[in-house]
Amino acid sequence: MRHRNSGVKLGRNSSHRKAMFQNMAISLLEHELIRTTLPKAKELRRVAEPLITLAKVDSVANRRLAFARTRNPVIVGKLFTVLGPRYKERQGGYLRILKAGFRAGDNAPMAYVELVDRQIGSKAVEVAE
């Protein structure tokens, strides 16, 4: 029985899932818009939104926690200097998921994941296909 087991397996083992969502979160925070499958997009919220919430309070402890979760000092810097202040007044809901049709090869439902209130000049990058 899988009672009280939250999260989706996505056909991967736990270490693969952890690495995949870490990489997807880094790409999302770097480019502010990514394209992926709909189930991955929905699960990515559980990884990326707590990072932005953490960045709203700039402290050494929070920076270390963010680095422990992303392992990328450039992204940690962007989190605390750009994204944290941008979402200071917003109480959650930092991501928007837009359905984007179906992938040609396997008909998988695709989606764009973007940061709310992002600059429109940001370019999209395709990941996790």
- Which DSSP category does 92 fall into? S
- Whether 37 is covered by a domain: the verdict is yes
- Whether 4 is covered by a domain: the verdict is no
- Whether 70 is covered by a domain: the verdict is yes
- Whether 53 is covered by a domain: the verdict is yes
- Whether 83 is covered by a domain: the verdict is yes
Domain count for the chain: 1
User: 81-104 in b/e burial notation, b at 16+ Cβ within 10 A?
Assistant: eebbebbeeeeeebbeeeebeeee
Give 62-113 pLDDT, tens digit per residue: 999 999 999 999 999 999 999 999 999 999 999 999 999 999 999 999 999 9
Per the DSSP assignment, residues forming a β-bridge with 115 are: 95
Neighbouring residues of 127: CB distance < 8 A, sequence distance ≥ 6: 23, 24, 27, 34, 35, 36
Backbone φ and ψ for 96, nearest 5 degrees, come out as -125, 130
- E strands present in the chain: 33-37, 95-102, 109-115, 125-126
- Whether 85 is covered by a domain: the verdict is yes
- Whether 3 is covered by a domain: the verdict is no
- Whether 5 is covered by a domain: the verdict is no
pTM of the model: 0.90
Domain coverage including residue 118: 14-126
β-pairing, 33-37 with 109-115? Answer: antiparallel
Reported as a pLDDT band with limits 50, 70 and 90, residue 119 is: confident
What own/partner pairs with CB < 8 Å and gap ≥ 24 does 14-20 have?
A: 20/128
Q: Name the amino acid, one letter, at 96.
A: R
Give 25-43 pLDDT, tens digit per residue: 999 999 999 999 999 999 9
Q: What CATH number is attached to the domain comprising 97?
A: 3.90.1030.10
